[in-house]
Amino acid sequence: MNLDDGAALTAFQIRRRGSGAKLYAYASLREAGSAMPRIFAADDVDFTPIERWTSPRTRGTWPVAQRIRVGSRTFETKPLFADQELDSRASTGAVYWEGASLLLEGGRRVGRGYLEMTGYVEPIRL
């Protein structure tokens, strides 16, 4: 996510198969004007779904809006529109959701970027 003040946030989590519980998480926050990002430990990063959308095509239910805690800060993603699912099973074999999203903090827009998710229709095969 690119923040409006020039900062940049990268965050991800890997979920456990079946339960969906967090297996690992990572985040980095590069403040505006800084070359070095602050790296957060897995325990300092949490994703919580706050809005779900079910695809009429694949029946996958995607957490299209997420609350993301990174250290002491809490952000929320908000998709520009819910239906941003891509079904590439005929080529790469994956169904994923890659959505243009706003980034909010305290209910106020602070940035924009993409939220990308896999594994909500069927497990990814590597």
47-105 pLDDT, tens digit per residue, is: 999 999 999 999 999 999 999 999 999 999 999 999 999 999 888 888 999 999 999 99
CA atoms within 13 A on the CB side of 94: 13
Mean pLDDT, all residues of the chain: 94
Question: With 80 as the cut, is the pLDDT of residue 123 above it?
Answer: no
Residue 89: strand pairing partners: none
User: What b/e readout covers 42-54, taking b as 16+ CB neighbours within 10 angstroms?
Assistant: eeebbbeeeeebe
**What residue ranges do the domains of the chain occupy?**
2-118
Q: What is the CATH number of domain 2-118?
A: 2.40.370.10
Q: Could you give the count of Cα atoms lying within 13 Å of 46 in the half-sphere of its Cβ?
A: 11
Q: What is the DSSP letter of 44?
A: G
- Give yes or no for residue 9 having a pLDDT over 90: yes
pLDDT at 126: 65
